[in-house]
Every structure is written in structure tokens, then in C-alpha cells.
Chain A
Amino acid sequence: MAMDVEILEDPKHHRYVLNMGPQHPSTHGVLRVLLELEGEYAMELLPVLGYGHRCHEKIAEHKPVKSFMPNTARMDYLGALIYNHGYAQLLERAAGIEVPERVEYIRVITSELNRIQSHLLWYGAYLLDLGAFTPIMYAFDDREHILDILEDVTGSRLTYCYFRVGGVSKDIDDKFVTSTRAFVKRLRSRFPMYEDLVNGNVILQNRLNDVGELTPHTCARYGITGPLLRGTGVAYDMRRAEPYSIYSQFDFEIPTGTKGDCMASFMVRFHELEQSLRIIEQALDGLPEGPIMTPKVPKKLKIPAGDYNSSVEAPRGELSYYLVSDGSDVPYRLKVRTPSYSNLSVVPEMCQGMLLSDVVSAMGALDLVIPEIDR
């Protein structure tokens, strides 16, 4: 792990600085964390960002609003459809475009599939960080089914660009509906297996319980959202707090934890899988017929002057887009609020004084997607 070890000047403390990343497997991308260690305890932590910065927000200021859609998928490659959703919704709100009902259903179904896919990848990769190699194989087995389903309708496997302003690019067919239903059934039947294989495991319990505890107050100070916040017992989910699209029509619960430690957010994510399945089932049952595109979307979409906001629940927390328009078809400014950025900012406080191996547990529980932090 050691890439660059530097003995600090004060020999009394025997503190030394260690780079974790930017190529460390448990940072899942190019995140670098400077650790100041005393023995095996991390006394100070400093995340260093910028390795994956691609100026997405600046790019948005230079092209027509509609052209930014593919960029949204590149920010959070695991929640691409949800990022598409937030952006499409932003432009629809700004330009006052009504979306056909079928489109809303398709968006919800595919977004929830995307969320499950993201959680399954996190599930496998997190356990891999903790030293358990097998679970990722099981998680990927299930995840592969979602990728196949989504590939058939969106054409891509990861960085989807499927939603359009006022609709979606391709209609779903009977094959999609049957394979999604089959998947829902399959994943449900696999939950007991996951419980046996992982969740009850004594090693996991000992590595996650009481590690990286957060309180609602800390979350509020850092702007932490998503499963981490829900793990502390606050049932805050954008799908409920500010229901967008057609989420208000569905019956689902918001899983919460109590202790706010790694185990709590772990279980919150695990239970969210089931809730997403419930939403998908209800949406498939109620799927109406109809067009998949609003007919009246102009080719050159001019956004009336003003500022607009749209927030959605991404797999990692609250995602918002904030658009300031001067009346042209190019945004004056587009600000993206991504959840992982705020979630990461708690690391120096949360991990202070932790054992190095617990730092890996705690950071893995944040479910960081680095390109979303460095966008």
C-alpha cells in the first residue's frame, strides 16, 4: 500500500504520512487520502481530490442544454439513469414540458433497476474491501441480469443516455416486462442466501458494528444524505421528502437504522433493494399505454430566464441540479450537487483515531463513486 512514506520530523510521536491511493483498490477510483499514522492508528486524514476532474459544469456552459445529457451519466457511472432523470426533469420544469404518463413509469422502473444495480455492486465491492472475495461473485451474478435488461432497452450497459427531454429514447416491450418480473422474483429468492452468506457472518459483524458512527447532527453539519443519513435513523429520502416524478403513487418504506455505524448503513442499503423491487413491481402493474415522447419539444430548447432546481434520490444520496438561465439555449451556469462529495467530507472527522483497517470499513460504507466527486 505504501507508495510514498515520509517520516515526520518529530521522532517522539513516530507519526508518519502514508498515501492511500490514488491507486488503492479500496478507494474505487482515483481518490487519494493522506493518512497521518501513529502506529496503526490514523490520527489525521485528508482526502485529496482532482484526479478525475473533467469540468462537467463548465462544459455545460458551452453547449445547448440538451447536449449535456450524456455528461450526466459520466458523473455517477453507477447511477447513470438517475442522473439522466434529474437532468431531464430539470429541463422539463424549466421549459414547462409535460411528460406522458408512460414515460414516468418507464423512468421509475429503469431508475430503480439502476439503483439496485448500484447497490449490488457496492455490496460486492465493499465486502471485497473487507477481505471477503466470494460475495462479489454472487452480487455480480444478479447484477448481470439487470445490465442485460437495461442493455436491451437503453443500448448501453453502464453510462446510459436513455432519457430525453420530454420522454425516453426507446419504448419498453413485453420482453422487458417479462424479464424484469423474472428478475424481481429471482432477486427476492436470493435474499435469504445473502443473509446466510454475508449479513449474519461474525467477521462482518465485528468489522462493521460500532465503526464509523455518525449522528444526525454530524450528517446535518456536513450535508450527508442517502443511506448514511438514513442509517442514523432519519427517514429522509427525496422520493418521499419531495416526491418527484410519480413516486408519490407507490407504496414503499424507507429503511432506517438506529446507530449510524457502518452496519446500519449496510443494512439500510440491503433493505433498499427490497423496497426498489416493490416499486418496480407496482410500476409494472400500473404501466399505462401511451406515447414515449412529448410531441412539442422544440429542437432548439430555449430556457426562459430564471433559475431552476431539480432534486432526485441517487443511490448515494440527494442529487440536485441548479440551472441559471439567461433566456438562451445555453445555460448561464449549471451547478450539480452530488451526494458523494458531501459524504466524503466527513471522513477526516469520522475516521480520526481509527485503526487503519477500520478506515477501510468506514470509507467503504460511504459508497464513494469518485467521478461523481471530481466531476
Chain B
Amino acid sequence: MKSYFSTLFTGAWSLILGLKVTIKALFSPIVTCQYPREKMEVTPNYRGHIDLVKFADTGAHKCISCGSCMRDCPSDCIVVEGEKREGVKGKVLTIFTLDFTKCSLCGACVEVCPTKALDYCNDYELAGFTREEFYFDLLKRVEERE
């Protein structure tokens, strides 16, 4: 009988202790962020999909169409093509596409690039209804970017 009451008491006490914690939390500052009305700052180190970097000094990308990123990508999501043009040293980049549906953000392409032409972007709000929305034309993106 005695143990019945002591169990009852300790049980009830444990619940009261728990309630104390939740009541305290009720009056402490909110920790959540009301997305999408509020947005948190994303660290610049965040890995979004890759993008060609626009260099400030030349106002252009530095890709030399060597194709290393294409060969090193474990998921085959990059297609690079370049052509020889008269009067221009080296190859000129004509196609650079990324199939983001397959990209695992491993970073192999960014690390292998000899001219550091690639970097991760900071877009995280990516949602779409079709696959094609995630086929990015990086060359177009870099040309359109400010």
C-alpha cells in the first residue's frame, strides 16, 4: 500500500517537473523563424548548385573549357563544350549546362577546376514541378548576372 502511494507521488512529481520545463519555455524567447515571412541569413559557405564565377577584373568567367569538371563529376551532370575561334587564344566556352537533379553537391568539380572558375551559389529556395526546371544553363546565368 505504501509503495503504491510513493509510486503515485513520484510519478505525479515527475509530471509536474516536466510541466515546469514547458511552462518556463512558454515565457522564454521564440527560437523559431517564421519562414517564408522571415528569412534567416544563409552562410556564404553554403553549397547551393554550382555556378560560373564572374570575375570583377575581367567582367567575365574564366572557364577554359578543359572539361575536367565534366570528367570528374561522379554523377555526370555537367556538359561543357568549347570551340576554337580565330584571334582568340585557347578555347571559347559555348555550352555549360548543369543537370541539378543528379548533382550531389560533392564539390569535385569546384575543386578540380584549374582556373577556379566554379563556385557554389547561395540559392536554397529551389522547388519545381518539372525536371527541366533544374537543368541550368550556367553560361547564360553568368552572362546575365550583374
**A residues with CB within 8 A of B:** 63, 66-71, 74, 134, 138, 141, 144, 148, 151-156, 159, 161, 169-170, 193, 196-198, 200-203, 205, 299
Contact = CB atoms under 8 A, between A and B. Distances in A.
Interface string B101-120: 00011111001100000001
22 contacts: A66-B108, A67-B72, A69-B106, A70-B74, A70-B105, A70-B106, A74-B104, A148-B43, A152-B45, A153-B45, A155-B45, A155-B46, A155-B47, A169-B107, A170-B45, A193-B21, A196-B20, A196-B21, A197-B22, A200-B17, A202-B10, A202-B14
Interface band, chain B = 20 to 34
Nearest to B111: A169
Contacts of B108: 66-67
B15 interface: yes
B128 interface: no
B18 interface: yes
Nearest to B104: A70
Nearest to A132: B18
B74 A201 contact: no
Contacts of B104: 70-71, 74, 159, 161
A335 to B, nearest CB: 20
Given A67-B74, A202-B10, A196 B43 contact: no
B106 A155 contact: no
A70 B72 CA distance: 13
B36 interface: no
Describe B's contact surface by its main secondary structure: helix
A161 B111 CA distance: 13
B87 interface: no
Contacts of B10: 202
Contacts of B15: 201-203
B126 interface: no
A161 B106 contact: yes
A222 B28 CA distance: 46
Contacts of A74: 104
Interface in B1-53: 10-12, 14-15, 17-18, 20-22, 25, 31, 43, 45-47
B47 A156 contact: yes
User: For the complex, would chain A's binding face be called helix, strand, loop or mixed by DSSP majority?
Assistant: helix
Contacts of A170: 45
Nearest to A161: B106
A71 to B, nearest CB: 8
B120 A155 contact: yes
A57 B111 CA distance: 25
Given A74-B104, A196-B20, A200-B14, 5 more contacts: A148-B43, A151-B46, A152-B45, A170-B45, A202-B10
Nearest to B124: A157
A268 to B, nearest CB: 21
A161 B105 contact: yes
Given A67-B74, A70-B74, A161 B107 contact: yes
Given A69-B106, A155-B120, A161-B105, A198 B46 contact: no
Nearest to A73: B104
B111 A134 contact: no
A326 B51 CA distance: 37
B91 to A, nearest CB: 21
A258 to B, nearest CB: 21
Contacts of A153: 45
Closest 8 CB pairs of A and B: A155-B47, A202-B11, A67-B74, A70-B104, A70-B106, A197-B21, A196-B17, A161-B106
Interface string B73-109: 0100000000000000000000000000000111110
A155 B107 contact: yes
Given A70-B74, A161-B104, A151 B18 contact: no
Contacts of A141: 31
A344 B106 CA distance: 30
Nearest to B112: A299
Contacts of A151: 43, 45-46
A68 B105 CA distance: 13
Nearest to B11: A202
Contacts of B17: 196-197, 200
